[in-house]
Amino acid sequence: MTVHPELQFKTDFLAIKKYLLHYTQMGSGPPIILIHGGGTWLYSFRHNILPLAEKYSVYAFDMPGHGYTEARTDLEAYNFDTVCEALLEFMDAMHLKKVNLAGHSWGGGWAIYFTNRYPDRVNKIILIDSSGMHRYEQLAWELMKYPFLGRFILKFMSENTIRKGLETSFYDKNIVDWEMIKKIYTPLSNKKILNAQLSYSRNINWKETKIALPRIRSKALIIWGQNDRYISVKYGRRMQRLIPDSQLEIIDHCGHSAHEEYPGRVNGLIADFID
């Protein structure tokens, strides 16, 4: 067991075929898996896991190429298949036949792809300021698709870079402190983790998830920050129109990370939706 004081809950490691997954499990009841976004780790859900665990069996793990999850083999590329295989193996190892999925940003896009690919394994899906509607999101991620520019951008990754990114992510910049910056930056100081971000940005085509949206048969809750500067709320509205059985909740004075900026509101929305 590993204890992160800032998380207030214990984490552990699970060995699957290609990875040693860093994960946590809390609570009992209907299962829900929380999928963090690109460049971060399960720390992203530090305000959500314990409250949701009062009613549900909550799982969260660092996706391949993120956080403290370790690759057990050398991989050629990180892509949709990477995420789907890890998620499926995790569910099987935890004896989870069917779950609710909640994904933020890239994690939402990954949840869309998984739900379309394995519809029998997903009950309901929650998308928080989700990727999956369009190719262009944030300039730095798009520039990373080009080999020279990508390497150049990563070369200058620092705590200050993370600070600027987080301040863009939140409507209220006062939420960002050096404790948060350090927790996000520490895994990214590992070259393998940093290179994985580059690989994901090059190998994931969000057109595939946009095509998948009308095929989603799970009920969907879409949560969006009105003031999201990474992915405009207009894409949340378009997503709601494309997913057959979906509802959209827009939170005012909120940026790209609604689950961190308004955790009580988001936890309540998730609980009402699952129930």
Contacts of 30 (CB under 8 A, 6+ apart): 55, 56, 57, 100, 123, 274
Structure tokens, 119: 């519809």
Closest residue by Cα to residue 113 from 98, 125, 97, 95? 125
What domains lie within the chain, and their CATH numbers? 2-274 (3.40.50.1820)
- What is the longest distance spanned by two Cα atoms in the chain? 48
Residue 242 backbone class (left: φ over 0; alpha: ψ -120 to 50; beta: rest): alpha
DSSP string, 93-153: HTT-SSEEEEEETHHHHHHHHHHHH-GGGEEEEEEES---S-S-S-HHHHHTTSHHHHHHH
Q: What is the DSSP letter of 164?
A: H
Separation between Cα atoms, residue 131 and residue 112, nearest integer Å: 9
CA–CA gap between residue 14 and residue 87 (Å, rounded) = 12
As given in the structure block, the two tokens for residue 46 are 């530090």
pLDDT < 50 stretches in the chain: 144, 146, 148-150, 152
pTM reported for the whole predicted model? 0.92
Q: Give the pLDDT confidence score for residue 201 in this predicted structure.
A: 84
Q: What is the reported pLDDT for 160?
A: 87
Amino acid found at 190: N
Quote the pLDDT of residue 146: 47
pLDDT at 169: 92
Query: H or E segment at 56?
Result: none
The answer to whether 263 and 48 have CB atoms below 8 angstroms apart is yes
Buried b / exposed e across 160-194, counting CB within 10 Å, b at 16+?
Answer: ebbbebbbebbbeeeebeeebbebbbbbbeeeebb
